[in-house]
Structure 1
Amino acid sequence: MPDFPILPNPTDPRLTRAITGTDHTGAQTVISVVEERPLTIYLNAQEIVTAMTIGDYPEYLALGFLRNQGMLRPDDVVTGVDYDDEIETVVVRTQRQTSYEDKVKKKTRTSGCAVGTVFGDMMEGLEGLTLPATPVRSSWLYALAHKINTTPSLYLEAGAIHGTTLCQGDTPLVYMEDVGRHNAVDKISGFMFQHGIPAADKILYTTGRLTSEMVIKTALMGIPVLASRSGFTAWGVEIARQVGLTLIGRMRGQRFICLSGEDRLIRDADPNAQPDEGRKHGRKGAGDD
């Protein structure tokens, strides 16, 4: 079992680049800019997708993407995950023979930065899905928001990036970042798949919008609670209600809104005792679009 927590490494020189420009006054300035590079994912001998990513944890990203697309089954035996940095490729190998030519042809572009990709039968797997009735306390939500938003991260270093955190109670366990919120979630899914991490007692916290794909991925991972600083899409809310996912958004200071799964929520903290960020305070930008 890995040691927790697993946190971003904003000092990793591979993930940002110093670029010189001029500011609003015309003065020369140097800022850190997030790297973006392609990663091609293979399942056995078949090329599946090329994703744009910051380049960390490529093995987890590949496993999580394939798992969330239904191409890796829960009982699949993975015999190898090979990453080649020179050609920016990950090959995931399984005992089971796989062939997904038809599924790869049926792709749907989804909302969100870095263009998330879902295949045509993306609702497959949700029918009959029942998520555990694990309670979530408002005191946990307030504590998590404070811990996550003050953790050193690539966002605080360079911006233009999304973060997603796997949590248990009021404790962050695994914090992943990427140029697309979908990639960050897939990294966490791959981590859980690789290490056999149970989902029933977990919370997924994200800085990005609560879209249909975010809800679907969270539900298929078996996580009963999805929370965000950002807002909702109507289809995301509709799917969350369909599968019984607790969906909490606009978490800022004292405030949050629950649009699905209210029955899991235990309000055990006084909102007035929490610091109020205000509309122009705190982490904003990449995670708010």
Structure 2
Amino acid sequence: MSTQTPSTLRVAPDPSSPRLTRAVTGVDQTGASIGLRVVEERPLTIYLNSREIVTAMTIGDHPEWLALGFLVNQGMVRAADEVTGIDYDEELETVVVRTAVETDHEAKLARATRTSGCAVGTVFGDMMEGLEGLTLPPTPLHVRDLNALSSAINRTPSLYLEAGAIHGTCLCRGPDPLAYFEDVGRHNAVDKLAGWMRDTGTDPADKTLYTTGRLTSEMVIKCALMGVPILVSRSGFTAWGVEIARQVGLTVIGRMKGSRFVCLSGEGRVIWDAE
């Protein structure tokens, strides 16, 4: 399959970066020697002002956006909070996100829970906060655009094509990919995207979030709280993820392979115009 980076992509994977993969040798099913590249995992400790929040395992790219997006998605940094700086120390493997005013996050830490995300995704006891009364825009989803989008993402050069063992998340508008992030955990990839959206002031109203990961409750909640009305995956669903999506009016499409998919919520946005 030929690969080509879409011209609309503002942020794209960098599979050629030597920092993100490592060359290893092994043997194949015949006993013959084989060489391949595998993705790296590095710890990244995130601080909010002077408080240590979490240590995440990540491939190590875009640490500032990962830290900011994580804090935004956990409700620790809200829309009204002024972010005054993000400091990354590669040697110490830490990121410090600084706000103009100290935030109230200690209660959230006390209610921390572990979720079903790969590489230990984390949400908190008030994870449903913000969903009540949430209204997502009635952005239409053209099936013809969805098919074109799937083809464009699958042909984009990526760490997945280079080494596998990784998840991808892409923010899109219509048939066009805009920002594509990868990581060992699907939640990390989404957090990088959320950080990029916050940093660039990107409007979520007319966007689609495409992910390679399962459509779990965590993924649905993050997408809804980011204000993105459409969530698409080539993987499957969890029952709670579908239930929450229906409650908030989020369109969720899964099991997308080629031109085939299943929509389990928000089908009112879908325009069936594929040939």
2:253 matches 1:248 = yes
| Aligned counterpart in structure 1 of residue 178 of structure 2, from 173, 178, 202 | 173
Residue identity in the other structure for 1:245: L
8 A contact 1:46–1:99 mirrored in 2: no
Q: Which secondary structure state, in structure 1, belongs to the residue aligned with residue 153 of structure 2?
A: helix
Could you tell me how far 1:20 is from its partner in structure 2?
1.1
Superposition TM-score, scaled by structure 2 size? 0.96
Q: Which secondary structure state, in structure 1, belongs to the residue aligned with residue 57 of structure 2?
A: strand
Could you tell me how far 1:112 is from its partner in structure 2?
2.5
Q: Which secondary structure state, in structure 1, belongs to the residue aligned with residue 88 of structure 2?
A: strand
Report what 2:21 is aligned to: 16
| Aligned counterpart in structure 1 of residue 76 of structure 2, from 71, 87, 93 | 71
Q: Which secondary structure state, in structure 1, belongs to the residue aligned with residue 14 of structure 2?
A: coil
Gaps of 5+ in 2: 1-7
Q: Structure 2: how far apart are the matches of 1:254 and 1:87? A: 46
**Deviation digits for residues 29-87 of structure 1 (CA, Å, limit 9, x no counterpart):** 11100000000000000111100000000000001000000001112111000000001
Superposition TM-score, scaled by structure 1 size? 0.91
Could you tell me how far 1:254 is from its partner in structure 2?
2.2
Report what 1:103 is aligned to: 108
| Aligned counterpart in structure 2 of residue 195 of structure 1, from 173, 191, 200 | 200
2:91 matches 1:54 = no
8 A contact 2:204–2:226 mirrored in 1: yes
Report what 1:282 is aligned to: none
Could you tell me how far 1:4 is from its partner in structure 2?
3.9
Q: Which secondary structure state, in structure 1, belongs to the residue aligned with residue 235 of structure 2?
A: coil
Q: Which secondary structure state, in structure 2, belongs to the residue aligned with residue 191 of structure 1?
A: helix
Q: Which secondary structure state, in structure 1, belongs to the residue aligned with residue 26 of structure 2?
A: strand
2:239 matches 1:234 = yes
Report what 1:224 is aligned to: 229
Could you tell me how far 1:5 is from its partner in structure 2?
2.7
**Deviation digits for residues 215-265 of structure 1 (CA, Å, limit 9, x no counterpart):** 000000000000010110000000000000000011111211110001100
Could you tell me how far 1:132 is from its partner in structure 2?
0.5
Q: Structure 1: how far apart are the matches of 2:16 and 2:265? A: 38
Residue identity in the other structure for 2:240: W
Could you tell me how far 1:6 is from its partner in structure 2?
1.4
Residue identity in the other structure for 1:145: S
8 A contact 2:212–2:235 mirrored in 1: yes
Gaps of 5+ in 1: 271-289
Could you tell me how far 1:19 is from its partner in structure 2?
0.7
Q: How does 1:80-229 map to 2 (within 5 A)?
A: 80-229=85-234
Q: Which secondary structure state, in structure 2, belongs to the residue aligned with residue 174 of structure 1?
A: strand
Residue identity in the other structure for 1:109: R
Q: Structure 2: how far apart are the matches of 1:113 and 1:73? A: 25
Q: Which secondary structure state, in structure 1, belongs to the residue aligned with residue 46 of structure 2?
A: strand
Q: Which secondary structure state, in structure 2, belongs to the residue aligned with residue 222 of structure 1?
A: coil
CA RMSD of aligned residues (A): 0.9
Report what 2:35 is aligned to: 30
Could you tell me how far 1:115 is from its partner in structure 2?
1.4
Identity, % of aligned positions = 71
